[in-house]
């Protein structure tokens, strides 16, 4: 108890150190706690609502209706008495008063959904949709369709050749609609009312889903695997049905939500890393100030183990207090997440800090304070009572004798950050990549810092007293200067890496270089509608581009080896869209191989036809130039040979395909067409859209400008969230800057007083301080921003197909702000020392 009491007395006696240590650690922990709470709350919400998200226990879906034989197998495995529901979903145009909008039709039977429910404003029975031509929609969808006043009479809309009445408003719908990106708003109608619309034709992209609800004690995973095995046994080869249960939903959601939660988690770890550097630096200065006290205790007979216990007790107490402060700060941050991710996560998710997160926070505060400072504990090994007779300001950090202890002290630090990286990324691989990338960036910045501060010796060779003293101080205190440099540079690196990728994404989505964004993207143009459609576009003098045929088919083999992988059946896509064109679009570029032959291929030919493959698709499936691929198109088996790879800029919103065939292969196959249309004025665009919908109601017209705006809004929200966490994490670095400036100013108090005695004025001393930290901050910002260009370009090349653009405004702003903040922080921290009287030097000498 004596040593614990002494630990509290030391904390009270060293209030300045204790405050900065706890505040710095709390800042790093707060971001970590907030992100971990958000991620765990999101996962918990998904886990608790998986059946409601799927709306069933098991779903069987396909692009065509199930056959009688397939239904029989499902009934045999799952039981005939199982509750069932049907849903048919597709995109089409909904006509309203003088306008039309793309919508997603959800045609359901009276038993859908099997889990979850519709929350309707007027409590209309769901079965009413089966009995009459009516639809449900949300009030937001009604606003998009122009139904502003619905009090007088129910508004009507046209779907295909049939008129429907808005029956009721949805306040909540079943499934994942609230947590997924939607190409168009949804309309719910009855399956019986679908027949008279004439919307489903050959080539229409339709998803037929059958849902099954089993008993409470049913072994759903086992039944799912049995069902897959029975279908595979009955219908060998690539299955045309997709069978999902809640496990598949969970995997799909984890992929979607994991992208942004993982990146934000890594940012929070970086903030914690910066806090760790600051904590270690503060502890380093604290140990130096306590060195003589510990030597006195040793001279009085105290054992080093008791001194370790005292210091450890102080750290654990401060770590515990820092944890509580961090939890309080994180609770203020957590409410911001639903606002930041509005539209990307479920609207009614409840985000809170669970007991596991609290335990992790407490552990990180208590154990983290020890782990961060563990490499510095080796200084206690070098403390001797003889130091009382010597004027030793600071024990050297590194020596041959203490090197093994120093390296051993770093292992727990590395292990802790590796565990946290794996925890927040969800995989050892991603955690390892993050640690490797962070280590590489840290090593590069440390090397640059070492070179810069070694060069300060040459910069001090000047007649200017201010520059001479400032650069000489930086050279003589290389370790302190390097710590400050690395922390600032890591913060600048983290913030600067974001705008470069964001700039590239925004430029490519809104206005791709060298490409013209179309006004509309047209889908499901039937073969018999080809000539009338082309005549209409010609009459309207619209710019039609990439009028492309599309044929649905399957890839059977690559070099006689089955394309379908039975061990990866859940993720292996089975059907693809094929096309052909005489010339490539401007959004396509051949990167390897030769162009497709202009000579049409004939079925009597004994050689395979030529194929052009999109480059990323080829890499994903291991396709090489010269490979012979087998296909099934409308029941006909064909063989083709790969002759080139193409890069495709999908953000051009032009009709593009993974696979292009040689002309002549698909000429006689039943097909639909895709196209894009441009028009100069908004008025002409709307008029053209209305004419297309009126004369060809089955054609889906996607407003590309609206779609691009929706994607941009999502990227903007993600960018805000990432920048929010990045600026919060750099606050830990700013605490470090302040701590270093304060420590260095206090340590140089005698030097400052000596300069005053020798006649140096306060402005000159202030200039020295500003030059020291201004140079450090500016050099660190330059290094961090410069390194971020390399890392952001590599990340854009790997993850975003080289969508990278230099953002000079953001880079200059980061550089200027970092320099000014460094100088201002140093000036504020050293203000007390600058205003002290030179008499302190004489009293110190006496």
711-732 pLDDT, tens per residue?
666 666 666 665 665 566 556 5
d(CA 423, CA 39): 11
Determine if the pTM surpasses 0.85: no
Residue 741: partners with Cβ closer than 8 Å, 6 or more residues away: 484, 769, 773, 825, 826, 829, 830
Token couple for 108: 């359901």
List helix spans (H) across 636-761.
682-695, 704-747, 749-757
Query: What is the reported pLDDT for 704?
Result: 75
More confident residue, 308 or 113: 113
pLDDT digits (tens, 9 = 90+) for 516-527: 667 788 888 888
Shared-domain flag, residues 324 and 452: yes
Q: What backbone phi and psi angles, to 5 degrees, belong to 674? A: -115, 155
Identify whether residues 270 and 378 lie together within a single domain: yes
pLDDT of 509 higher than 90: no
Residues 6+ apart with CB under 8 A from 412: 371, 374
Number of domains in the chain: 3
* Dihedral pair phi/psi, residue 352, rounded to 5°: -150, 165
Question: To the nearest 10°, the Cα dihedral for 280, 284, 289, 290?
Answer: 80
Indicate whether 605 and 468 sit together in one domain: no
Q: What is the pLDDT of residues 248-278, one digit of tens each?
A: 777 666 655 565 666 666 667 767 776 776 7
292, 293, 296, 301 alpha-carbon torsion, rounded to 10°: -130
Q: What pLDDT, in 10s, does the model give residues 765-776?
A: 778 878 888 888
Tell me the pLDDT of the chain averaged across its residues: 77
666 shares its domain with 723? no
- pLDDT band (50, 70, 90) for residue 375: low
Q: Once rounded to an integer, what is the mean pLDDT over residues 384-407?
A: 52
pLDDT interval class at 643 (50, 70, 90) = very high
Instruction: Tell me how far the alpha carbon of residue 467 is from its chain's centroid.
Output: 45
Task: Specify the pLDDT at position 253.
Answer: 62
% residues pLDDT > 70 (the chain) = 71
Q: Is residue 193 part of a domain?
A: yes
pLDDT of 610 reads: 95
DSSP 342: B
Question: Does 340 lie in the same domain as 272?
Answer: yes
**Boundary of a domain, candidates 652, 678, 704:** 678
* Cβ atoms 289, 393 nearer than 8 A: no
- For residue 530, CA distances in Å to 534, 561, 594, 674, 763 come to 6, 38, 31, 10, 81
Q: In this predicted structure, what is the pLDDT of residue 343?
A: 60
| 467 assigned to some structural domain | yes
If asked whether residues 786 and 734 sit together in one domain, one would say yes
Please report whether residue 787 resides in a domain: yes
| pLDDT tens string 107-157 | 998 889 898 888 888 888 888 888 888 999 888 788 777 776 666 667 888
- Of the three residues 213, 247, 276, the one that is the final residue of a domain is 213
Same domain, 819 and 724: yes
- Band the pLDDT of 798: cuts 50, 70, 90: low
Q: Does 99 lie in the same domain as 41?
A: no
Choose between 373 and 390: higher pLDDT.
Answer: 373
Judge if 123 and 189 occupy the same domain: yes
CA dihedral 422, 424, 430, 434 (to 10 degrees): -90
Reference 515, options 435, 586, 565, 592; nearest CA is 586
Q: Specify if 312 maps to a domain.
A: yes
Give a yes or no: residue 319 inside a domain.
Answer: yes
Q: Using CA of residue 386, residue 391, residue 396, residue 399, what is the dihedral sign? A: negative
| Nearest by Cα to 536 from 677, 702, 706 | 677
Beta bridge partners of 95: 100, 158
Nearest to 201 by CA among 799, 810, 697: 697
Q: CA-CA distance, 426 to 443, in Å (whole number)?
A: 25
Is the same domain home to 827 and 723? yes
528 located within any domain: no
Strand-strand pairing, 134-138 and 162-172: parallel
pLDDT per residue as tens digits for the range 36-54: 888 788 777 777 777 888 8
Q: Which residues contact 660 (CB under 8 A, 6 or more apart)?
A: 578, 579, 580, 581, 596, 611, 612, 646
What is the DSSP-derived secondary structure letter of residue 389? Answer: G
Binned at pLDDT 50, 70 and 90, residue 612 comes out as very high
Task: Report if residue 52 sits inside a domain.
Answer: no
pLDDT of residue 435 exceeding 70: yes
Q: Is there a domain that residue 222 lies in?
A: no
Residues 467 and 587 in one domain: no
CA distance to 160, 537, 564, 581, 718, per residue, from 686 (Å): 19, 13, 44, 29, 31
Bigger pLDDT: 617 vs 181: 617
Range from 219-223, 237-241, 251-255, 644-648 carrying the lowest mean pLDDT? 251-255
Residue 500 has what pLDDT? Answer: 63
Asked if pLDDT for residue 841 goes beyond 70, the answer is no
Residue 104 pLDDT > 80: yes
Confidence of residue 609 (pLDDT cuts 50, 70, 90): very high
What letter does residue 596 receive in the DSSP assignment? P
* Range 380-393 average pLDDT: 54
Q: Are residues 144 and 260 in the same domain?
A: no
What 3-state class would DSSP assign to 584? coil
Say if CB 488 and CB 776 are below 8 A apart.
yes
- 837: containing domain: 2-47+255-344+352-510+713-845
Last residue within a domain, chosen from 213, 240, 266: 213
């Amino acid at each position: 108890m004596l040593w614990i009491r002494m630990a509290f007395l030391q904390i009270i006696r060293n209030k300045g150190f204790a405050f900065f240590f706890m505040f710095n650690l709390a800042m790093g922990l707060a971001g970590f706690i907030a992100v971990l709470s958000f991620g765990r709350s999101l996962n918990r919400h998904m886990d608790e609502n998986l059946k409601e998200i799927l709306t069933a226990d098991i779903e069987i879906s396909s692009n065509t209706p199930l056959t009688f034989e397939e239904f029989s197998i499902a009934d045999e495995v799952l039981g005939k008495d199982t509750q069932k529901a049907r849903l048919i979903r597709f995109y089409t145009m909904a006509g309203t008063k003088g306008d039309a909008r793309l919508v997603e039709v959800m045609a359901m039977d009276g038993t859908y959904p099997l889990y979850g429910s519709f929350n309707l404003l007027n409590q209309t029975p769901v079965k009413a949709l089966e009995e009459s031509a009516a639809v449900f929609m949300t009030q937001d969808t009604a606003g998009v369709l122009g139904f502003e006043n619905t009090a007088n009479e129910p508004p009507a809309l046209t779907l295909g050749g049939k008129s429907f009445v808005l029956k009721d408003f949805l306040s909540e719908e079943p499934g994942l609609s609230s947590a997924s990106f939607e190409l168009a708003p949804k309309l719910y109608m009855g399956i019986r009312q679908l027949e008279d619309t004439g919307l489903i034709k050959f080539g229409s992209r339709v998803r037929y889903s059958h849902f099954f609800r089993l008993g409470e004690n049913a072994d759903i995973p086992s039944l799912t695997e049995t069902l897959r095995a029975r279908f595979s046994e009955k219908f060998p080869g690539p299955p045309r049905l997709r069978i999902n249960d809640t496990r598949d939903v969970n995997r799909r959601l984890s992929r979607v939500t994991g992208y942004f939660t993982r990146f934000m988690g890594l940012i929070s770890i970086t903030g914690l890393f910066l806090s760790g550097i600051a904590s270690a630096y503060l502890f380093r200065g604290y140990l130096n100030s306590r060195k003589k006290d510990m030597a006195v205790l040793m001279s009085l007979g105290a054992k080093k183990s008791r001194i370790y216990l005292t210091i450890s007790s102080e750290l654990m107490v401060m770590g515990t207090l820092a944890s509580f402060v961090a939890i309080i700060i994180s609770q203020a941050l957590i409410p911001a997440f639903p606002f930041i991710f509005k539209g990307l996560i479920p609207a009614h998710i409840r985000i809170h800090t669970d007991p596991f997160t609290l335990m992790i926070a407490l552990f990180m505060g208590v154990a983290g304070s020890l782990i961060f400072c563990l490499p510095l504990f080796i200084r206690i090994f070098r403390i001797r009572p003889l130091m009382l007779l010597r004027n030793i300001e600071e024990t050297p950090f590194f020596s041959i004798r203490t090197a093994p202890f120093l390296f051993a002290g770093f292992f727990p630090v590395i292990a802790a950050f590796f565990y946290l990286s794996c925890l927040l990324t969800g995989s050892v691989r991603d955690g390892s990549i993050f640690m490797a990338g962070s280590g590489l960036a840290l090593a590069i910045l440390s090397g640059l810092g070492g070179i810069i501060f070694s060069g300060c010796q040459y910069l001090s060779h000047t007649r200017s007293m201010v520059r001479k003293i400032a650069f000489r101080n930086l050279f003589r205190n290389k370790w302190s200067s390097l710590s400050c440099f690395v922390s600032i540079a890591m913060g600048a690196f983290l913030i600067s890496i974001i705008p470069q990728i964001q700039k590239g994404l925004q430029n490519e989505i809104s206005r791709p270089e060298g490409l013209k964004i179309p006004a509309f993207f047209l889908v499901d143009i039937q073969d018999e509608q080809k000539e009338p459609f082309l005549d209409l576009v010609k009459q309207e003098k619209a710019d039609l581009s990439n009028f492309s045929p599309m044929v649905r088919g399957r890839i059977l083999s690559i070099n006689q080896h089955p394309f379908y992988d039975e061990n990866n059946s859940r993720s292996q896509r089975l059907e693809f869209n094929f096309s052909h064109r005489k010339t490539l679009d401007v959004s396509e570029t051949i990167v390897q191989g030769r162009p497709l032959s202009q000579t049409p291929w004939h079925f009597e030919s004994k050689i395979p036809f030529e194929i052009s493959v999109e480059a990323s698709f080829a890499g994903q499936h291991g396709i090489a130039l010269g490979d012979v691929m087998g296909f099934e198109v409308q029941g006909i088996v064909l063989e083709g040979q790969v002759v080139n790879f193409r890069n495709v800029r999908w953000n051009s919103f032009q009709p593009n395909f993974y696979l292009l065939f040689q002309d002549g292969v698909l000429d006689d196959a039943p097909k639909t067409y895709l196209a894009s249309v441009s028009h100069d004025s908004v008025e002409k665009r709307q008029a053209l859209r209305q004419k297309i919908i009126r004369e060809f109601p089955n054609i889906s017209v996607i407003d590309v400008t609206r779609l691009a705006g929706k994607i941009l809004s999502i990227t903007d929200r993600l960018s805000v969230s990432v920048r929010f966490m990045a600026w919060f994490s750099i606050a830990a670095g700013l605490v470090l800057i302040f701590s270093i400036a304060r420590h260095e100013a206090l340590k140089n108090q005698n030097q400052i007083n000596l300069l005053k005695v020798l006649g140096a004025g306060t402005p000159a001393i202030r200039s020295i301080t500003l030059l020291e930290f201004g140079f450090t901050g500016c050099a660190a910002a330059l290094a961090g921003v410069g390194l971020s260009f390399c890392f952001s370009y590599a990340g854009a090349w790997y993850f975003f197909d080289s969508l990278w653009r230099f953002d000079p405004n953001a880079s200059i702003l980061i550089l200027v702000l970092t320099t000014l903040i460094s100088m201002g922080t140093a000036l504020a921290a050293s203000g007390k020392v600058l205003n002290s009287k030179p008499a302190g030097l004489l009293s110190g000498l006496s």
